[in-house]
Amino acid sequence: MSKSIAVIVGSLRKDSYNRKLAKVLQEIAPASLSLKIIEIGDLPLYNEDIDGDNPPAAYTRFRQEMAACQGAIFVSPEYNRSVPAALKNALDVGSRPYGKSIWSKKPAVVITASPGAIGGFGANHHIRQSLVFLDMITLQQPEAYFGGVANAFDENGNIVPKSKEFLQLIINAYADLVNKLA
């Protein structure tokens, strides 16, 4: 039986390169994984004042969808050498209320992509820093920095073979981690 894995895309733009990479991951994932993109764009900024007995519907939806997953793949750009606000907010929403985090003990992988050469290195490590505190078991190797992401797709929007091979390497390593922890 395949494991349900959330894919969290840090970019909210509908045609972002990161969303395109997430969709490729869905197509090439091993049969042991079932990947589902979980949307984060509708989450209000985390505020404990609104997260009481009647939290926003978007908080509840997100927490329920994530709680049903056995792992998470984070695919994100880098904004100003750090984490996009929407992704950091999703991590915060999922970690609350205190003691009821939906992240704990779940296997994770962080894939960052940017048009620049360093492929979101800063964001990748900032995300990993949060995942340590959230008690997620994060794939260490291979690291996934996707530099020059604009060149990962051809003129028709299809992933080029070399880029697909790189993603296959990452998703296979992640599937091995998930299977070892099962």
Tens of pLDDT along 44-72?
999 999 998 999 999 999 999 999 999 99
Quickly state the pLDDT bin for 116 (edges 50, 70, 90): confident
Whether 160 contacts 18, CB under 8 Å: no
State how far the Cα of 118 lies from the Cα of 12, in Å rounded to an integer. 21
The 8-class DSSP code of residue 53 comes to S
pLDDT score of 1: 83
Q: Is the pLDDT of residue 118 over 90?
A: no
Q: Angle formed by the axes of helices 161-181 and 17-28, to 10°? A: 60
* pTM for this prediction: 0.97
Q: What is the rounded average pLDDT of the residues 136-142? A: 97
Tokens of 17: 């390169």
pLDDT score of 108: 98
Tokens of 51: 């997260």
Quickly state the pLDDT bin for 110 (edges 50, 70, 90): very high
Q: What is the rounded average pLDDT of the residues 9-27? A: 96
SS3 108: strand
Q: What is the mean pLDDT of the chain?
A: 96
Residue type, 12: L
For 3-181, the fitting CATH number among 3.40.630.30, 3.40.50.360, 2.30.30.40, 1.10.357.10 is 3.40.50.360
